[in-house]
Chains A and B, each alone.
Chain A
Amino acid sequence: MSEMNEFDESAPTVVKRFMYVNRRAPYGTIYALECLEVVLVAAAFDQDVSVVFLDDGVCQLKKNQDTTGIGMKNFSKTYGALDDYDVEKIYVEKESLAARGLTADDLVIPVEVLAADDLREVMAQQDVVISF
C-alpha cells in the first residue's frame, strides 16, 4: 500500500487562497504586528496569499511613523518585506482611506486601492479568510 507523505516534495500540493484582513491601528493593540508576522510566516508555504487593509487597518501603512517617543518598535518598515516574500496582492479599501483623509501617496508601500464593491468580490473568492 502506498502512502502519500505530506512532506514529500514530489507530492501534488493544494494551493489555497488565504486572505489576511487587517482592521486595527498599529501600536494601540498587538493585532497589527501579529498579523504582519503571521503573513510573513505563511508566505513560506507557497500558498496564494493576499493582505487587506480596511477600517483602522489602513493606518498601519501610514508613512513617516516615528516610535522613538513611545518606546515601541516601528514595524512599518517591515511591510516593505512583503514583496520580498512574494506577497504581492495587497489591497486597501478606498472608503477607509477617504474616511481618514488619507490617499495611496500617504502609504509606505505600493498597494492596490479597491472600492468596497470590488474588494467584496475578491474576498468572496477566498478559501480562507483570517481576521486581525
Chain B
Amino acid sequence: MLHLINKSPFERNALDSCLRMAKSGSAILLIEDGVYAALAKAAHAEKIIRRMGDCSFYVLGPDVAARGLSDAPLIEGIDVIDYEGFVDMVAEHDATQSWL
C-alpha cells in the first residue's frame, strides 16, 4: 500500500492515523503540507523515525523546495523524489490511500 499524506502534522492528525494503520512494508509519501513532517528538528520527527525500520518514507522534492526546506535538515533515511518518481510509485503499488 502507498500512503499519501498532504496535511501538516501540526494541524491535522492524518500522519498519526496513517502511522497507526500502515502495515509493515508500506510506503509513505509526504506531499504538499505533509512535507513538514520530514523536518528532522521538528516535534513530529520521532514518530516517523520509529517506523523507519518497517516502512519506507518518501518526500516530494518540489513541495520541499517550495516551502523553503531544501536547506533544512530532513529526517535521515527519507528519500526525496520528483514527480516522475511519484508516478512510478503509484504505478508500482496495487493500491494508494490518500489521508485527506
Contacts and interface: CB of A to CB of B under 8 A. Distances in A.
B69 interface: yes
Contact of B42 (A24, A74, A76, A99): A99
Contacts, number: 78
B36 A66 contact: no
A56 B68 contact: no
Size class of A's contact patch?
Answer: 20 to 34
Interface in A61-86: 62-70, 72, 74, 76
Interface string B31-75: 011001001111100000000000000000111011111111100
A62 B33 CA distance: 14
A62 B61 contact: no
B68 A27 contact: no
Contact of A65 (B10, B42, B43, B67): B67
A110 B11 CA distance: 25
Contacts of B66: 26-27, 65-67, 69-70, 72, 74
B71 A64 contact: yes
Contact of B40 (A56, A63, A69, A101): A101
Nearest to B61: A69
Question: Which 8 pairs across A and B sit closest by C-beta, in order of nearness?
Answer: A101-B41, A69-B62, A28-B33, A62-B68, A65-B68, A67-B66, A64-B68, A66-B65
Interface of A: 24-29, 55-56, 59, 62-70, 72, 74, 76, 99-102, 106
